[in-house]
């Protein structure tokens, strides 16, 4: 069995994809206590290190692998300063101390010396000087590296979401594919669910306490792709009346036969994006958001925390189907090099 370690594990999206690809994820690191709880609920055999990555060393993670060989070290260092939502119209990144966590990813590569590495992140990271340092150091350690900005919808995930993917290997050259699977629609992902109020799934049978104004705005938004632009002007928000109004998708409905917009950490709140159900007068539920992220339908999320925190866990996760594709690619590469 090929062994992997998941850094910055969140609620387990990357691990789930690697598990589906045939890796045994032996250890994971996650600082957030509630995200770590969700991770443990779904991946109980993985050693969870619930601390800051800055306090973790490679030996502690390698100790979770009986053979002492890490075939894949993978992770997504938080780089919030480079996300499109944080940057808005700025040309430069937002200064955020988490931007430097890419160096801890590099440090653990140096300490563990895995056979292959994979890092997923926001596209804006490619212009960051620390990313260039990462590339330079990986090449010094004789990793053959490839990286591309890819859209997850081209790999069977039912949403549009661009991600930077970097892979590297000490045992041969790698070249990432531009596409993998045909896009899936919102209808294909969530159209078969029972109405939320009839569901026995606590992750789907969820009610939000919206104001009468918000309920009215959702009810009057045309089904299957309508937006605030379709409402009478007296219902427009003050920010929408500005000449260069941003966030055009807020209070918008998804379209049944298109991919969903990017599922963000605000995905359960209609004021944060195009997160109203295509036909129901409500925001999407946590289960619907998770399915649009390509999580399995039985993936467990803990409902004893706020919906905002659940939304953040789901929105921050790496889509498992996207990670599964790249995990399978790396597994085939390792198998060809004699690792099984």
Q: Check if the beta carbon of residue 43 is closer than 8 Å to that of residue 23.
A: no
Measured CA to CA, the distance from residue 326 to residue 100 in angstroms comes to 25
Q: Using only C-alpha atoms, what is the Rg of the chain?
A: 21
Q: Tokens 């569901």 sit at which residue?
A: 199
Measured CA to CA, the distance from residue 194 to residue 174 in angstroms comes to 43
Measured CA to CA, the distance from residue 39 to residue 10 in angstroms comes to 7
Is residue 79 annotated as a catalytic residue, yes or no?
Answer: yes
Q: What are the DSSP E strand ranges found in the chain?
A: 2-7, 23-29, 47-49, 72-75, 116-121, 144-151, 162-169
Q: How far is CA 283 from CA 51, 113, 274, 287, in A?
A: 33, 45, 9, 12
Return the structure tokens found at 295: 């999580």
Q: Which of 79, 203, 239, 267 is catalytic?
A: 79
Residue of 32, 42, 49 whose CA lies nearest to 108: 49
DSSP for 24-36, please give it: EEEEEE---HHHH
Return the structure tokens found at 214: 């918000």
Return the structure tokens found at 2: 């090929």
Measured CA to CA, the distance from residue 58 to residue 129 in angstroms comes to 24
Q: How far is CA 73 from CA 14, 26, 120, in A?
A: 11, 11, 12
Measured CA to CA, the distance from residue 335 to residue 340 in angstroms comes to 6
Show which residues are catalytic: 79
């Amino acid at each position: 069995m090929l062994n992997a370690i998941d850094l910055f594990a969140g609620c387990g999206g990357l691990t789930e994809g690697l598990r589906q690809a045939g890796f045994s994820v032996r250890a994971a690191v996650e600082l957030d206590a509630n995200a770590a709880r969700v991770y443990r609920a779904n991946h109980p055999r993985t050693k969870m290190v619930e601390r800051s990555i800055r306090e973790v060393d490679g030996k502690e993670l390698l100790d979770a692998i009986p053979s002492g060989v890490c075939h894949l070290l993978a992770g997504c260092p938080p780089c919030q300063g480079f996300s499109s939502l944080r940057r808005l119209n700025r040309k430069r990144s937002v200064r955020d101390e988490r931007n430097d966590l890419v160096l801890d990813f590099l440090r653990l590569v140096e300490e563990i010396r895995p056979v292959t590495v994979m890092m997923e992140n926001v596209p804006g990271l490619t212009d960051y000087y620390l990313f260039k340092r990462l590339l330079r150091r990986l090449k010094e350690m004789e990793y053959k590296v490839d990286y591309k900005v890819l859209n997850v919808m081209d790999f069977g995930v039912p949403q549009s979401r661009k991600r930077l993917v970097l892979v590297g290997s000490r045992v041969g050259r790698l070249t990432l594919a531009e596409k993998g699977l045909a896009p899936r629609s919102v209808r294909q992902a969530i159209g078969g669910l029972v109405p939320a109020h009839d569901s026995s799934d606590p992750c789907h049978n969820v009610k939000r306490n919206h104001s009468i104004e918000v309920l009215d705005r959702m009810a009057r938004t045309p089904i299957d792709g309508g937006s605030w632009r379709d409402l009478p002007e007296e219902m427009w928000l003050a920010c929408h009346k500005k000449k260069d109004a941003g966030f055009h998708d807020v209070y918008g409905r998804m379209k049944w036969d298109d991919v969903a917009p990017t599922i963000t950490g605000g995905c359960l709140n209609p004021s944060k994006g195009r997160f109203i159900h295509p036909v129901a007068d409500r925001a999407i539920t946590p289960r619907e958001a998770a399915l649009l992220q390509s999580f399995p339908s039985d993936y467990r999320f803990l409902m004893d925390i706020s919906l905002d925190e659940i939304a953040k866990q789901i929105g921050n996760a790496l889509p498992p189907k996207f990670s599964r594709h790249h995990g399978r690619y790396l597994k085939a590469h390792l198998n060809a090099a004699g690792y099984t």
